[in-house]
């Protein structure tokens, strides 16, 4: 086995489409013999013979997740020296062995042995014959086993190298996970069958008709023959090699209406089933079109990940995942950064998701050495590059959902990429070619960027020349003729991402902007069980020397596919319908490209429980209608719901929501007395008991446990330290509060406090006016005033309290049900909400601030010892936020894993008058200026009512 050469694999058949066929097949998934050696040099040559010690392993799986060695995570850097094409000496070698009887339908027949994914390189032997070697971990390899397969006792042996020359081309930001991790199968090749089929189902939007172009290849490589039937179109034709057929009037396929027509190709020996989706993707005047209408990607980047199984993701899991996407108004997937399991494309065709199908290629680590010796521009690697692209395109070429082919990710630039593009365009002109690192956009059909700031996206939308170093170069002029996408934006790491609304607004405003793909769909935490406890781990947790920590957990859903709050906001901005409710009118905007709103019902309800259905006239794509609002409501909620069940959601599923709310502050109690000072701490004059409940606080507070985004400098301020550092430098993470004075006024008790960081002279003064309403109720008027020149914006402006007992739940009247922050509130709505104890926070893998409920007018915080009801009497309720947590902020800020958080038995409560936004500085812009929180005064009046249990 030679794992240090620059070419593609050897011995595999030329790539072809994955066909759904009646040809006999036999799955070889299951339990295989297995053993691992520390390096190739010490791995015995006769691994196929079965001598020596063997254990067992499931196939498909990654051996490092099955108890042999450990996974390792790096983002850009290679975990070994850059010395292409040589892998490191420390290179685990996995030997796999399977003894099996062949299915009678296959034994002695022409057949192929198919591997859908082996990381990173493998030598394959069957019954002593060397079949060849694979390269391209996420690419299919088929070997001809005709004449080599016997009825019983076949010995299949596969030697897998964790690292190989191919590792230089597979430096994606993800775990290194070796092994046979996708299906292994035997497939018969019937004598008069079809080896390959290429079908292009085109749609002519002007005529509303379709056509089918077919190219058939027989097993011997000559043109293939078959009978095509598309019953629904009454289409039947004998195909000899190639044909283009008029399909007449058809319903087109789109993500909005994924109409598929079943078709068959019949030969004497075999029937191949196809699902035809008629559609056309094209560019006109820099605008990306689907079936003649503007196509806006509302997409996500999807890696294949399962917390226990890595990239061996079962198809049922993938299906559930795509349905979850559809329920959140996602219409597109970029398969970052390799072809997914082949079954995924059947699902995207069926459910309706546009796909950018990306080749298994990334050489990002070469950036660390100034791209010296980057394989992308080295002729010795050209055949490896072409092989990768051809395997990618051939396998999936018959899927309607694929609209772009992507050459790979972050592989610099060079002649090999150009060659991939040239081959792809010649082979399949029905789709566009994408690649983000082609800075001049010379060999791509779309201008693609990642994490461009809002300003830059706006300039691109307005078609102004890019700033230096681009300027009016020929490349720039060419680029301006292309549609633009952000193949990655809004980095969903930790609490966030902020800035979604502002990107969406740009995508909606400028026709040339064809939307983008959030980075990323899923967090790649890996689950392990230690001492009976399940733990989610990230880079560095497996003893890696070189790693990139928790940068691998940056998804809209957790590794267990629980939606993060960012997904709720995203669903709002991606919604195909916008509903704007005012006191007297409801505006409904159809944001679909191609379909009307007949599949939706519009239901309304008010705060008192009255409800009804709106009569909405026909609204074509891109149109807006206005209907009168039902009379006299202080709160009116209008929802667009699915009229009937779809493949991805039940009838009644909420697609979009709009709301009108007139916030009325609670009445201020008239009868009050001056509180007894005995209820206050004599030194600090903080309230320490109410209604029998003792607590600490409230004290002014300006800090939050840094989010991941707070720990990175934003692209808009690359020279400034991240906010977490600015806050630590200013000392707002450790402020002290001193009692200035306490005095009895005629009708209230007044306490004045100064809060300031140690060693600093800037401060916040709190002026609190206390009135007793009942023995268990106080009214406090709060005025907060900053003093001195604050050198940094704050995280929050609020009051902290610590209640006895652990939190048991929260009921509130405000935005919900999920958390909301100034730049991440979309998708939450006003109402009475409840959160159980485990819904008060988000279980980010690395602990950080989370869980704020916003727009709160009243909240009842329950603990195991009692509770506190907070009612906002005056003050901007839109901004008031309540955060309830079993952990102190210091605990959240200093603990590295969620499972290591230790609750102190108290309930930590924050009542915020204002908060900073979240931004997306982990990779992208920080908090937009309008959502920042410079030092500012604040005022609020609160009723506090406490009880014990
Ligand atoms: C991009 C890259 C992604 C991921 C992301 C940061 O540069 O394409 O794979 O690394 O940054 O999470």
Domain ranges, ordered by start, for the chain: 20-188, 194-282, 292-571, 576-661, 677-744+774-948
Say if residue 751's pLDDT is above 70: yes
Nearest CA to ligand 1 atom 11: 923
**Where residue 381 falls among pLDDT bands split at 50, 70, 90?**
very high
Residues in contact with ligand 1 by the CB-under-6-Å rule are 75, 173, 337, 409-410, 450, 488, 491, 519, 551, 554, 923
* Catalytic annotation, pick one of 119, 133, 488, 523: 488
Say if residue 467's pLDDT is above 90: no
- Dist. CA 436 → ligand 1 center (Å): 12
Per-residue pLDDT, 108: 87
- Dist. CA 366 → ligand 1 center (Å): 15
Mean pLDDT of the 602-616 span: 93
In angstroms, rounded to a whole number, what is the distance separating the alpha carbons of residues 352 and 335? 15
Residue with tokens 């599949």: 599
Say if residue 245's pLDDT is above 80: yes
315: its two tokens? 């198809």
Per-residue pLDDT, 104: 94
φ and ψ of 511, to 5 deg: -60, -30
Per-residue pLDDT, 476: 80
63-107: pLDDT as tens digits = 999 999 999 999 999 999 999 999 999 999 999 999 999 999 998
Per-residue pLDDT, 875: 60
In angstroms, rounded to a whole number, what is the distance separating the alpha carbons of residues 408 and 414? 13
Per-residue pLDDT, 376: 98
Helix count (H) and strand count (E) of the chain?
10, 58
Say if residue 665's pLDDT is above 90: no
| Fold of the domain spanning 194-282 | Immunoglobulin-like (2.60.40)
Mutate which of 300, 407, 488, 556 for ligand 1 pocket (most atoms within 8 A of beta carbon): 488
**Where residue 693 falls among pLDDT bands split at 50, 70, 90?**
very high
Per-residue pLDDT, 879: 87
Per-residue pLDDT, 736: 97
Taking the CA of residue 410 as reference, the ligand 1 atom at the shortest distance is: 8
**Where residue 374 falls among pLDDT bands split at 50, 70, 90?**
very high
Mutate which of 338, 410, 566 for ligand 1 pocket (most atoms within 8 A of beta carbon): 410
**Full-prediction pTM beyond 0.85?**
yes
Per-residue pLDDT, 345: 98
- Dist. CA 589 → ligand 1 center (Å): 34
CATH 2.70.98.10 fits 677-744+774-948, yes or no: yes
Mean pLDDT of the 673-682 span: 96
Per-residue pLDDT, 630: 87
- Cβ 861 vs Cβ 882: under 8 Å: yes
- Cβ 837 vs Cβ 632: under 8 Å: no
Q: Is 947 exposed, middle or buried (0-12, 13-18, 19+ CB in 10 A)?
A: middle
In angstroms, rounded to a whole number, what is the distance separating the alpha carbons of residues 656 and 654? 6
Strand partners, 513: 484
φ and ψ of 269, to 5 deg: -110, -10
Mutate which of 74, 75, 334 for ligand 1 pocket (most atoms within 8 A of beta carbon): 75
Per-residue pLDDT, 469: 61
308-340: pLDDT as tens digits = 999 999 999 999 999 999 999 999 999 999 999
Nearest CA to ligand 1 atom 4: 173
Say if residue 662's pLDDT is above 90: no
Q: Is the peptide bond before 817 cis (omega within 30 degrees of 0)?
A: yes
Mean of pLDDT over the chain: 96
Give the three-state DSSP class for 481.
coil
- Dist. CA 925 → ligand 1 center (Å): 15
Q: Count the Cβ atoms, other than its own, within 10 Å of residue 194.
A: 27
Say if residue 575's pLDDT is above 80: yes
Per-residue pLDDT, 466: 62
**Of 74, 84, 82, nearest in space to 172 by CA:** 74
HSE of 244, CA atoms in CB hemisphere, 13 A = 5
Q: Do domains 292-571 and 576-661 have the same CATH topology?
A: no
Domain 292-571 superfamily per CATH: Glycosidases (3.20.20.80)
Annotation says 142 is catalytic: no
880-919: pLDDT as tens digits = 999 999 999 999 999 999 999 999 999 999 999 999 999 9
Q: Count the Cβ atoms, other than its own, within 10 Å of residue 694.
A: 15
271-286: pLDDT as tens digits = 999 999 999 999 999 9
- Dist. CA 412 → ligand 1 center (Å): 14
CATH 1.10.10.10 fits 576-661, yes or no: no
Per-residue pLDDT, 671: 95
Mean pLDDT of the 389-418 span: 98
- Dist. CA 522 → ligand 1 center (Å): 13
- Cβ 664 vs Cβ 748: under 8 Å: no
Nearest CA to ligand 1 atom 3: 173
* Catalytic annotation, pick one of 119, 133, 304, 410: 410
Q: Is 844 exposed, middle or buried (0-12, 13-18, 19+ CB in 10 A)?
A: buried
User: Residue-wise over 521-542: b if at least 16 C-beta within 10 A, else e?
Assistant: bbbbbbebeeeeeebbbbbbbb
Mean pLDDT of the 762-775 span: 98
843-882: pLDDT as tens digits = 999 999 999 999 999 999 999 999 999 999 976 667 899 9
**Of 677, 662, 659, nearest in space to 605 by CA:** 659
Mean pLDDT of the 129-142 span: 98
**Where residue 159 falls among pLDDT bands split at 50, 70, 90?**
very high
Taking the CA of residue 520 as reference, the ligand 1 atom at the shortest distance is: 12
Annotation says 589 is catalytic: no
Pick the CATH number of 20-188 from 2.60.120.260, 3.30.2130.10, 3.30.479.10, 3.40.50.2000: 2.60.120.260
């Amino acid at each position: 086995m030679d794992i240090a050469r620059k070419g593609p694999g050897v011995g595999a058949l030329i790539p072809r489409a994955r066909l759904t066929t009646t040809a006999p097949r036999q799955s070889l998934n299951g339990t295989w013999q297995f053993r691992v050696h520390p390096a190739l040099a010490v791995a015995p040559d006769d691994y196929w013979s079965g001598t020596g010690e063997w254990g067992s392993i499931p196939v498909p799986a990654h051996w490092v997740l099955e108890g042999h060695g450990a996974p390792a995570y790096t983002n850009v850097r290679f975990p070994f020296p850059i010395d292409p094409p040589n892998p490191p000496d420390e290179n685990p070698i996995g030997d796999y062995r399977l003894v099996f009887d062949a299915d009678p339908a296959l034994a002695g027949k022409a057949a192929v042995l198919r591997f859908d994914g082996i990381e990173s390189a493998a030598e394959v032997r069957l019954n002593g014959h060397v079949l060849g070697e694979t390269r391209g971990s996420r690419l299919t390899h088929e070997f001809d086993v005709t004449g080599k397969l016997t009825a019983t006792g076949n010995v299949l042996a596969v030697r897998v190298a964790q690292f190989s020359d191919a590792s230089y081309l597979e430096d994606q930001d993800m775990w290194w996970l070796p092994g046979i991790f996708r299906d292994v199968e035997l497939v018969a090749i019937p004598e008069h069958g079809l080896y390959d089929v290429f079908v292009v189902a085109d749609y002519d939007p002007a005529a509303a008709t379709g056509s089918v172009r077919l190219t058939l290849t027989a097993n011997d490589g000559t043109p293939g023959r078959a009978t095509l039937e598309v019953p629904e179109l009454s289409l039947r034709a004998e195909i000899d090699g190639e044909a283009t057929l008029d399909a007449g009037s058809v319903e087109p396929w789109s993500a909005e209406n994924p109409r598929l027509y079943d078709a068959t190709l019949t030969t004497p020996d075999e029937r191949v089933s196809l699902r035809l989706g008629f559609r056309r993707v094209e560019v006109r005047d820099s605008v990306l079109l689907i079936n003649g209408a503007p196509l806006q990607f509302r997409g996500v980047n999807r890696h294949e990940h399962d917390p226990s199984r890595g990239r061996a993701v079962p198809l049922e899991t993938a299906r559930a995942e795509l349905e979850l996407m559809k329920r959140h108004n996602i219409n597109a997937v970029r398969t970052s950064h390799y072809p997914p399991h082949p079954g995924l494309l059947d699902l995207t065709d069926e459910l309706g998701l546009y796909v950018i199908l990306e080749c298994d290629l990334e050489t990002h680590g070469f950036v660390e050495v100034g791209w010296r010796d980057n394989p992308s521009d080295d002729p010795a690697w050209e055949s490896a590059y072409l092989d990768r692209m051809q395997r990618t395109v051939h396998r999936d070429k018959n899927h309607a959902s694929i609209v772009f082919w992507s050459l790979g990710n972050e592989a610099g630039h060079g002649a090999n990429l150009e060659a991939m593009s040239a081959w792809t365009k010649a082979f399949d002109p029905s789709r566009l070619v994408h690649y983000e690192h082609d800075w001049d956009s010379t060999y791509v059909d779309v201008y693609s960027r990642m994490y461009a700031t809002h300003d830059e996206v706006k300039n691109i939308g307005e078609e102004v020349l890019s700033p230096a170093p681009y300027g009016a170069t020929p490349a720039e002029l060419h680029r301006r003729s292309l549609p633009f996408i952000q193949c990655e934006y809004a980095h969903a790491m930790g609490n966030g991402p902020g800035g979604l609304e502002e990107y969406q607004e740009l995508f909606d405003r400028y026709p040339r902007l064809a939307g983008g793909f959030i980075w990323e769909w899923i967090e790649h935490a890996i689950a392990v069980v230690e001492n009976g406890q399940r733990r989610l781990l990230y880079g560095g947790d497996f003893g890696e020397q070189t790693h990139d920590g928790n940068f691998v957990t940056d998804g809209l859903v957790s590794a267990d596919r629980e939606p993060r709050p960012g997904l709720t906001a995203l669903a709002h901005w991606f919604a195909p319908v916008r509903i704007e409710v005012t006191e007297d009118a409801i505006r409904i905007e159809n944001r679909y490209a191609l379909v009307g709103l007949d599949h939706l019902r519009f239901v309304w309800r008010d705060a008192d429980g009255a409800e009804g259905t709106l009569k909405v006239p026909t609204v074509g794509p891109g149109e807006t209608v206005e209907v009168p609002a039902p009379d006299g409501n202080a709160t009116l909620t209008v929802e667009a719901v699915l009229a009937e069940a779809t493949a991805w959601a039940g009838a009644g599923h909420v697609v979009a929501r709009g709301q009108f709310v007139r916030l009325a502050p609670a009445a201020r109690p008239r009868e009050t007395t001056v509180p007894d000072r005995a209820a206050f701490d004599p030194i600090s004059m903080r309230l320490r008991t109410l209604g029998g409940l003792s607590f600490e606080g409230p004290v002014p507070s300006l800090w939050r446990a840094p989010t991941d985004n707070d720990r990175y400098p934003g692209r808009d301020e690359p020279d400034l330290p991240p906010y977490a550092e600015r806050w630590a430098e200013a000392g707002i993470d450790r402020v002290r509060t001193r009692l200035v004075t306490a005095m009895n006024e005629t009708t209230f008790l007044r306490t004045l406090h100064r809060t300031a960081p140690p060693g600093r002279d800037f401060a916040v003064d709190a002026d609190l006016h206390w009135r007793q309403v009942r023995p268990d109720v106080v009214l406090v008027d709060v005025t907060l005033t900053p003093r001195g020149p604050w050198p940094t914006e704050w995280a929050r402006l609020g009051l902290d309290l610590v209640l006895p007992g652990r939190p048991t739940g929260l009921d509130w009247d405000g935005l919900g049900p999920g958390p909301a922050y100034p730049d991440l509130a979309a998708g939450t709505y006003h109402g009475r909400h409840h959160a159980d104890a485990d819904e008060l926070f988000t279980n980010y893998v690395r602990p950080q601030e989370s869980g704020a409920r916003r727009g709160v007018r009243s909240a009842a915080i329950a603990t195991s010892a009692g509770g506190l009801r907070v009612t906002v009497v005056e003050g901007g309720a839109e901004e008031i936020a309540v955060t309830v947590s079993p952990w102190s902020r210091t605990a959240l800020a200093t603990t590295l894993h969620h499972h290591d958080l230790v609750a102190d038995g108290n309930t930590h409560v924050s009542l915020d008058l204002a908060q900073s936004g979240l931004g997306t500085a982990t990779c992208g812009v920080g908090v937009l200026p309008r959502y920042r929180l410079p030092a500012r005064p604040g005022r609020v009046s609160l009723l506090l009512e406490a009880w014990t249990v």
